[in-house]
Amino acid sequence: MNNLAFANEEVITSGQVNILSGFLQSRKLQRIDTPSDRVCFRLDRNKPIIRIANGSVHEYPVRRSMVDKLLRWHHIDRWMLNKASNETAISFLNDLLLSIKSSNVRIYVENGDAKTITSNRYTEFFDDEVLKACADLKISTVSRTDKVLRIDSVVDARFQPAVGDDCGFGFTIFNSETGFHSLQISHYILRYVCSNGLIIKIPSIDKRLNYRNHYNLPTGNLKMFLENQLASIKSTRRSIIRRLERSTRTLIDPQLQKKALMLLRKINVNADMIRNEVLNARTEWELVNVVTAHARQQPVDLRLMLEQSAGRLFQKVYEN
């Protein structure tokens, strides 16, 4: 599958709101509802094409996010197909389409390319709707790939988890039109001395919505959901600060070191250097900063994954 030539994704990295807004207003987005057995992949030389035969036949170039979403649907990691030939990979993907239990699926086409496939139970929060709901917030930067929209607020509310270690509080909103992330707001903590960022999840107001907002939250409640989560951000800052202060004094559990090493294997950095950095960290706060230091150098999707994982690494010790 490494030899497949996917259609190019649209990427905005640390841009201004008007750049993202301009793209979202000008793009052409199409939703196609169809029985899953009317959909199949084929190859045009080394380019994957998706064919939809539902009344009439339409074909679209495929972006990588489309294939990754189909694999995710069936809980399959992409690496399992890395050594497969293009023909084998396409045949396997067609088998996955036939294995979908939903009678109907939704395929989204952006600017002429197929970029995802979702269940018809999936509630769409389109990126332009989320951006509009954030119009009154103090936004610093936005980033977007085919898999995630990330909106970072202005960082303020300075504090010091340890003497001389200045940090600031903000929040991060992320959404996925393609089914890779639920709509969420999380704490965002910036360490000024090195510009490392840490994403720490907040409790959901409604426990039933946790991780499944795109299935259980009606679209009309988008703005109310964001407002409730922002209130929760403010009310939980003090407890997060106390946790951070404790982490600067708490020696590392070896299990946390192992988890940090597993996380950092996902990036293309010298393994021995990473191992030395992890093993030389003395406190939990130092360990978290090893992960976030590497995160800021990564592409949008991988950076978000590492900063979220660092937050879970940090919270694991303190969860009741």
pLDDT score for 317 = 45
Per-residue pLDDT of the chain (320 residues; tens, 9 = 90+): 778 999 999 899 878 899 999 999 999 999 999 998 999 999 999 999 999 998 899 999 999 999 999 999 999 988 888 889 999 999 999 999 999 988 899 999 999 999 999 987 777 789 999 999 998 899 999 999 999 999 999 998 899 998 999 999 999 999 999 988 888 899 999 999 888 999 998 855 444 444 445 545 665 678 888 888 889 898 999 999 999 999 999 998 888 898 888 888 878 777 788 889 999 999 999 999 999 998 888 899 989 999 998 888 887 644 43
Q: Which residues 6+ apart lie within 8 Å of 186 measured at CB?
A: 171, 172, 174, 199, 200, 201, 202, 308, 311
**Element containing residue 54 per DSSP (H, E):** strand 47-54
Residue whose C-alpha is closest to residue 154's, from 163, 142, 166: 142
Mapping DSSP onto H, E and C, the string for 149-196 reads EEEEECCEEEECCCCCCCEEEEEEEEECCCCCCCCEEEEEEEECCCCE
What's the predicted TM-score (pTM) here? 0.88
Question: CA-CA distance, 218 to 222, in Å (whole number)?
Answer: 7
**317 token code pair:** 């010790």
**145 token code pair:** 């790939």
CA-based end-to-end distance of the chain: 43
**229 token code pair:** 């989560």
Question: CA-CA distance, 285 to 268, in Å (whole number)?
Answer: 23
pLDDT score for 183 = 87
- Residue 57 near residue 66, CB atoms below 8 Å: no
pLDDT score for 204 = 52
